[in-house]
Chains A and B, each alone.
Chain A
Amino acid sequence: MLSQSSAAGIPQEVHSFFTNPGGHSLILRGMAGAGKTTFALQIIEDLVAVESSFYFSTRVSDESLLLQFPWLRDKLASEVTSRIDGQKAEDTRQGLSALKGINTALRPSGKGLVSVSIGKDLGEIEDMYTAVEKRAPERTLVVVDSVDALAERYGLACIKLINTLQKDLVEGFGANMVYVLESPEQMLDYLGDGVIRLALDEHQGRRTRVIEILKLRGCEIRQPKYLYTLKGGRIQSFEYRWERAAGSNGQWRHIPDSGEMLSTGIKDLDQLLGGGLGRGSIVLIEMGRGVPTPVANIFEDALVANFVSLSRGVIWMPLRKASAEGVRSRLADALPKDRFDRQVRVPELASAMDITGGQFVLPVEGSSAAADLKWQNISYHLQGAEQPYLTLIGFDSAESVYGAQVMDQLTDLLAAVKRNRSLFVGITSQSNASIERLKDLATTHLKLDRVGGTVLLYGEEPYTECYAITFRENDQGGQIALTPIV
């Protein structure tokens, strides 16, 4: 069973930072196009249930902002343009008064056509004060996008503006502030209680995005780097955690073929591959260093479960020399045991076999894969199942039985798979000697890599962008989702 998703809006640390008692300020910086505005708006959305939020932009007009982020409109309450007067404001605007160039709070009391404005007119900045003052003692979140452009508009030094807002609003009112900085420089980092850098990165020629949590005063940083995506105009960050099982949620509900394409058992993966895997194709799934075992198991289990659910036969040599009984138990919730026994064959060395080895175990000698995995032999053992068959080979296990030259011994099998319009899937790790040979033969080549704790999937053939692997309840197939890093 799945208990939670590993994909979230803003990182949990940022959520905790802003919901801890007292006011907090966060500096958000990064290069153009990194998603600073989206991140700031995502903070608003994720915290809107706990505090009133205000967004001020010097860069994007309100209307184009709402067009770009239509989900913002739902929770938009009002536009704050009114200003307040009174002694209370005078008492709490000492920093602002200094910015205005006055040492006492001299402000207009204009209801008529003309008024005298004493001190610099800091319209938008005063609006922020008004917003926070009106909501006090309720805590508010104010996003300034961007603080350096705002400072420039009023001819103020950015450092002075941030210091003033920090003193008056964060410390004085306990407000939460997010300062979006256009400049990626770290000169102003010391002014904020927290600092987050959004970075554009590259993995194997594909774009990735990284949230770097550089500082969150008073808050434990469990994961300093998060991969994230801007899919759908929102921030979705990806956590490390892989401790949960990611199999099926109860009995397997199969995904049917899409025309001539065979389903992988994972909806999003089928979609990425244009409907699934072609009949007669040779597929390589290459696992990079540090890919967690449960992730690799997801792909194995989904393929096997979907083939079995469609009454098809499977020859399965599991990764990491998992035992036949072990993988059968792993799929016990998803598949009835009798179907597994009838349709799946797991090769195991006859010499090492338990005397009570079940019907699903295919005894092999281990001297030659060509002899052990003859197509006639396979067909014979899978008499109770339909074609096309799935041959799923974990090459770490295969090489441990047949040696590093196992690919030389599989030539006949690969030819038979093609001839019979079945499917061969080889899963390799970095240390396997068979990778290069398999790359040459593969019609589909997928790669799994771990980047900053997040597992990414991308296609070399067909060429695709990076997708983050996350958990999601699906009505059919495996309970995972592939989210593009865009």
Chain B
Amino acid sequence: MLHATLPDQCSMLMIGSPGIGLLEFNVYLAKDYLERGEAVVFVAVDCGARDVLNLMESFGLATSEVLGKRLFLLDYHSTLLGYTDERPGKGSGIIPISDLEGIMFNIAAIANDTGKRIRIFLYTLSTLFLYNQPNVVLKFFQISSSRVRSEFGSIIVSLHDGVHDERTVNHLMAIADGVVELKFDDELNKMMRIRHMRGYPSTPQWIPFDIVNAGKSSKTKLLEWR
């Protein structure tokens, strides 16, 4: 699993082409962490908390069993859209937040409550750039990366490729401990690679990946005689 490649305490930037499946990739990793008994905080900026939960369920995760116990969703999306009604409470596992400060504040609280190392997913940093000055977002990323690494566990922050200037992206990559790139090849096959990971060797090899129907059977059966 990819988590085997990620250090226990790190900040990771996941850069992907639009439509490549960044959200699915994040959900896949989150589910994997949860199945290993770890605590996950998912910061939903680009989509609603309910959408994330539905996607997790389609990946086979029984969210009702872990939500509010080891799975927490920080819902920034509703605030950005201006929704103020139907705001669930903290105990439900879905926590509404209204500003950047609220993200780290709640992460610290959850880490404190669970007493566990936590895995944080932020989807996506690109949208934060729409609502905040770039230097504010950069500063947020630098501070939160530093805190998560030293106090809470690991954070994977998603960024859409091609929508930010090169300098900003380079700056983000410089702050992160590692960068995972997701892109389409010339034939629109999905490819990924670990661009770099601080303290670990990495190869430039692009790895094919796909979002598939789970449990897909083989084209041909293997017959057994005993």
Contacts and interface: CB of A to CB of B under 8 A. Distances in A.
Q: Interface centre among A44, A72, A109, A124, by most B CB within 10 Å? A: A109
A115 B59 contact: yes
Interface string A33-52: 00000000000110010001
Contact of A116 (B61, B209, B224): B209
Given A52-B224, A62-B221, A110 B207 contact: no
Interface residues of A, number: 47
A114 B58 contact: yes
Contacts of A107: 1
B76 to A, nearest CB: 24
B210 A104 contact: no
B151 interface: no
A81 B218 contact: yes
A115 B216 CA distance: 10
Contacts of A115: 28, 59-60, 211-214
Q: Interface centre among B32, B205, B210, B218, by most A CB within 10 Å? A: B218
B218 A108 contact: no
Contacts of A108: 28, 212, 214
Contact of A109 (B35, B205, B208, B220): B35
A56 B222 CA distance: 5
A78 B222 CA distance: 8
Contacts of A54: 222-225
A101 B220 contact: no
A109 B1 contact: yes
Given A112-B61, A116-B28, A77 B214 contact: no
Contacts of A56: 220, 222-223
Contacts of A128: 222
Interface of B: 1-2, 4-5, 21, 24-25, 28, 31-32, 35, 55, 57-61, 192, 203, 205-226
A124 B24 CA distance: 25
25 contacts: A52-B226, A54-B225, A55-B223, A62-B223, A77-B226, A103-B207, A104-B5, A106-B2, A107-B1, A112-B57, A113-B58, A113-B213, A114-B211, A115-B28, A115-B59, A115-B211, A115-B213, A116-B210, A116-B211, A117-B211, A117-B212, A119-B207, A121-B210, A123-B219, A124-B218
A131 B222 CA distance: 9
Contact of B225 (A44, A103, A119): A44
Contacts of B5: 104, 106
Given A106-B1, A112-B61, A78 B207 contact: no
Contact of A112 (B1, B214, B225): B214
Contacts of A103: 203, 205, 207
Contacts of A53: 224-226
A102 interface: yes
B32 A109 contact: yes
Interface in A81-131: 81, 100-104, 106-121, 123-124, 127-128, 131
Contact of A80 (B60, B203, B215, B222): B222
B214 A110 contact: yes
Given A112-B59, A128-B222, 7 more contacts: A104-B4, A106-B207, A107-B1, A110-B214, A113-B58, A116-B211, A119-B208
A79 interface: yes
Nearest to B226: A77
B224 A77 contact: yes
Contacts of A114: 24, 55, 58-59, 211-214
A76 B223 contact: yes
A424 to B, nearest CB: 53
- What 3 A-B pairs are tightest by C-beta distance, nearest first? A112-B60, A110-B214, A115-B214
A102 B57 contact: no
Nearest to B223: A55
A379 interface: no
B192 A118 contact: yes
Contact of B2 (A44, A57, A111, A118): A118
Contacts of B4: 104
Contacts of A72: 223, 225
Q: Interface centre among B31, B35, B205, B221, by most A CB within 10 Å? A: B221
A110 B60 contact: yes
A338 to B, nearest CB: 56
A53 B100 CA distance: 60
